[in-house]
């Protein structure tokens, strides 16, 4: 009885990131740390920015003015972990994508995926990536892979899962100590941890006194393409008006020379 009560206890969290675009200076440490943490393989020589695997991808965007008035902003974009009408969950033909009720993380299970890429067509953030190549590391470098994350195979889709392996480790640690819930200090994402400017913050958006939820409520916080109604759990904030306009969907197109070339 006790046991079942124990394991049955419901813990609902809504983990999300809040990214301060005014702090981000585009160093890319988040992308690198992410790749190291999640065993994302390096690029084949043939790979380009259209076929690469970047769970955390930093877009460079400009305000469209020209020198010296041109200003640059960096958008670190991972899976936005939509909470509602999640585009990818509903389209996957074989339940390889779902939302973890305990964390609100949108999962992508490479072992179940058949590589139809419908979810990629569905995702407005292009946060899902397809393994066009077999995963390969230089000889010996497989010794540096993270044992808590399985290496994906060619022909499947993969994406950010808020370093879910770290969540699992933290849960296990808590359980070993007989605790149901993990200690927030034990769980943060690689990108948040690596950011030199502390621009990325992970936290439970429902937990009123988590730093993340407070930041997410700040007046200058916004979510990408919010109007699509997918309720993403990744928030961005910036005091610069043009940046917010760039991130939100209901303003006229701003030419973006940046991500060209």
Tokens 């769970």, residue located = 55
Question: Is the CB of 11 or the CB of 217 nearer to another protein?
Answer: 11
Task: Quote the least distance from Cβ 194 to another protein, whole Å.
Answer: 6
Task: Examine residue 172 and say whether the peptide bond preceding it is cis (omega within 30 degrees of 0).
Answer: no
Nearer to another protein, 24 or 205 (CB): 24
Q: Are strands 72-77 and 57-62 parallel, antiparallel or unpaired?
A: antiparallel
* For another protein, the closer CB: 107 or 210: 107
**What DSSP assignment string belongs to 98-114?**
EE-TTT-PEEE-TTT--
Residue 237: other Cβ atoms inside 10 A: 21
Nearer to another protein, 207 or 248 (CB): 248
135-159 residues labelled b (16+ CB within 10 A) or e (exposed): beeeeeeeeebeeebeebeeebbbb
Q: Which is nearer to another protein, 147 or 209 (CB)?
A: 147
* Least distance from another protein to the Cβ atom of residue 237, Å: 12
Residues in CB range of 148: below 8 A, 6 or more apart:
165, 166, 168, 169
**CB 5 → another protein: shortest distance, Å?**
9
CB of 208 to another protein, least distance (A): 21
Give Cβ neighbours of residue 108 (< 8 Å, ≥ 6 apart).
79, 88, 96, 97, 119, 128, 157, 158, 159, 161
Element (H, E) at 136: none
Comparing CB distances to another protein, the nearer of 142 and 217 is 142
3-class DSSP state of 8: helix
What is the closest distance, in whole angstroms, from the C-beta atom of residue 186 to another protein in the complex? 10
Tell me how far apart the alpha carbons of residues 73 and 24 are, in angstroms, rounded to a whole number. Answer: 8
Give least dist CB 73 to another protein, A: 8
Residue 226 DSSP symbol: G
Q: 208 or 227: whose CB is closer to another protein?
A: 227
Q: Which three-class secondary structure state does DSSP give residue 62?
A: strand
Task: Report in angstroms how near the CB of residue 170 gets to another protein at its nearest.
Answer: 10
């Amino acid at each position: 009885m006790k046991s079942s009560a124990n394991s049955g206890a419901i813990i609902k969290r809504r983990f999300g990131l809040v990214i301060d675009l005014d702090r981000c200076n585009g160093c890319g440490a988040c992308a690198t740390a992410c790749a190291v943490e999640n065993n994302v393989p390096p690029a084949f020589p043939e790979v380009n920015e259209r076929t690469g695997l970047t769970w955390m991808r930093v877009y460079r965007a400009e305000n469209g003015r020209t020198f010296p008035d041109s200003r640059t902003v960096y958008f670190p974009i991972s899976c936005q972990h939509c909470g509602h009408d999640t585009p990818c969950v509903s389209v996957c033909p074989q339940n390889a994508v779902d939302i973890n009720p305990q964390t609100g993380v949108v999962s992508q299970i490479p072992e179940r995926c058949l590589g139809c890429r419908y979810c990629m067509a569905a995702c407005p953030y292009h946060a899902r990536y397809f393994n066009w190549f077999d995963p390969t590391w230089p000889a010996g470098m497989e010794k540096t892979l993270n044992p808590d994350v399985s290496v994906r195979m060619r022909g499947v889709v993969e994406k950010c899962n808020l370093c879910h392996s770290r969540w699992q480790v933290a849960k296990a640690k808590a359980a070993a100590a007989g605790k149901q819930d993990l200690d927030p200090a034990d769980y943060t994402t690689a990108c948040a941890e690596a950011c030199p400017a502390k621009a990325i913050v992970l936290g439970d958006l429902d937990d009123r006194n988590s730093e993340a939820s407070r930041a997410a409520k700040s007046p200058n916080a916004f979510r990408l393409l919010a109007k699509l109604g997918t309720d993403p759990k990744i928030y961005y904030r910036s005091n610069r008006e043009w940046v917010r306009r760039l991130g939100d969907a209901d303003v006229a197109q701003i030419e973006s020379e940046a991500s060209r070339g």
